[in-house]
Structure 1
Amino acid sequence: MGTILDRIIEQKKQELPILQESRPNLPPFLEDRKSFIRKLEKAEEISIIAEFKRASPSKGIINQALTPAEQARQYERSGASAISVLTDQTFFQGAFSDLKSVREAVELPILCKDFMIDPVQIDHAAANGADIILLIVAALDENKLMQLHQYATSLGLEILVEVHNLEELQTALKLGVKLIGVNNRDLKTFNVSLEVTENLAALVKESGAFLISESGIHSIEDVVRVRKAGANGILVGEALMVSTDVNQSLVNFRLPLARGVEQ
C-alpha cells in the first residue's frame, strides 16, 4: 500500500493529464510577483506564513466553515507575512480556485502548497496567483527536483524547498536555494517533532538560506523553541484554522527574531 506520501504522489500522477488539457498560457517571465524573500531580508520579527487548510490526511477535517478569501484577509490584517494555500483536492480538500480567491483578496506573497511533480502544476499555480511554490525533496528524485526548481525560477517564482532530514537537506543545498522549509512532520509516517528543526537549523543557517519551520507549531512555546534554533519564519496552518481569535493567535506568534538570526 505504501506510505501516505506514496499514495499522494500516485494520485498526483493520475491528475496530470487533466491539468495538461487545461494548461494555461503563461508569459515567459511573470511580472509583479510579490517577494517573500525581500520581506525576510527586512524582518525584525518571526515571519509567519499563515495557511488555509480545510483538511489533512493526519487530522481529517480541520475546518470547512471558513472561506479562503475571508480567512486570508484576516491573516493579512493580523500581520501575517505570507499566506499558504493548500491546492490538493483529494487529501486536503483544496483547489486552485482557492488560490485564485486568496490572490484576489490580499496583497501578501502567496505560497501554493501542493505536491509538485511536473511543470504543468507550476503553471496552474502561477496562473492562479502564486508567488511561491513548494518543492518537497522527499517527493522527488534529484534530477526532477532540479528541473522543477529551474523551471519555477525561470518564471520568476520563489521556491520554498522542503526537507525533513539531513540527506534531504544536503540535496536541497546543492541547488543554492534561498528558502528552506524544515518540515517537523515526517510525510511518510506523519509523526511530528520540533527536534527536526533543531537538528537541521545550524546547517541551513550556515548555507545562508532563510529557515522556515513547518508543522507542529501550536503555541508561543513552540515558536520560542524554533526561534531559538534559528528559524526566520514559521508556517502555521491548523492552529490558525481552529483558532477562535486569529488576530490574537498571530500577534502571539509574532516574536522578535533571535539575535543573530537575521540574514
Structure 2
Amino acid sequence: MPPRAITTAATAASDTILSGPKNWDAWFTVFKGKAIAADLWQYLDPEATNKPSLEPPPQPTGNESNARAIIWKERRKEYTVKYKLLSDLGNHMLNTIETTLYGQLADHPKVAEKLEILHTMFNRTQAVKVNEARNEYNNCKKKTVGRDTFKDWSHEFQLALNKAKELKLPEVDGFQPQYDLLKVCSHINYALATNMILEVNEAETVYRATLAKANTRTATIPAVVDEEGNEIQQEETVKVPAAPP
C-alpha cells in the first residue's frame, strides 16, 4: 500500500496546536499517526537511537546494466514521493505549533531534528503524567458546584475521569467515580444524591458478590512425597475466593 498524502492545513476545529507539556500527548499522537501512514516514522522516531535518514539512492554509473538503471529509477521515484511527504509533514508541524516555538527550531532544518527538540522539551515521564492526572481528578471531585455550573463541571469531571482511567489510577477503580460524582451532586440536591448513593452501594454489593461467586475456583494442592516416594500429604480441595475488583 502506497503512503497516504498528508493534509497540512491546520484548522482550530480539527488540529491540536502544540503549546506545551499539557497537550503534547494529543499533538504527538496525531503527528505520529500521520508519519506512520506516510511510511516515514522510521526516519522520525525521537526515541530511536540509530534511525536512518531519508537519502536519495546513489545514481548508477555508465557501466551499470539496464536492469540496474530501471531499479534506480524506481527507487528514485519512491524517494521523491517520500521526500514530498516528509516536506508536507514538516509543514504540518509548523502549522500546528505555537509560533513562540519557532525560535527553538530555527537552526534545525530537518523534521527529525525539530521533533527531537519538541520531544525533549515537552514529553513527560509516566510518573509525571500519573501525578498530574491524580491531582486533576482529585481537585475536580472536591469542587463545590451549583446548578448553573454543573454542566461545565460535569464535562471537566468526565475528561479528568477518562484520563485517570487511561492511566489505571486506583482512585477510579470500581464504583468510586459514581460516589465522587454523587457527592458533588449532593450540594445541589442532597436527598436525591443520598438515595442514589444507596442505590450505587446496593449495586456494588451485588456486583462484588456475583463476581466473587463466578470467580470462585477449585484449586488442588498436590500431594507431597518423601524421598522414598511415600505420600505424606493427601490431596485436598480448597475454595479460593475472588479478589474484589
For the aligned pair, the TM-score class normalised by the smaller chain equals: under 0.3
Structure with the greater alpha carbon radius of gyration: 2
TM-score, normalising length from structure 2?
A: 0.19
More helix by share: 2
- Taking CA–CA contacts closer than 8 Å with sequence separation of 6 or more, which of the two structures ends up with the larger relative contact order? 1
More strand by share: 1
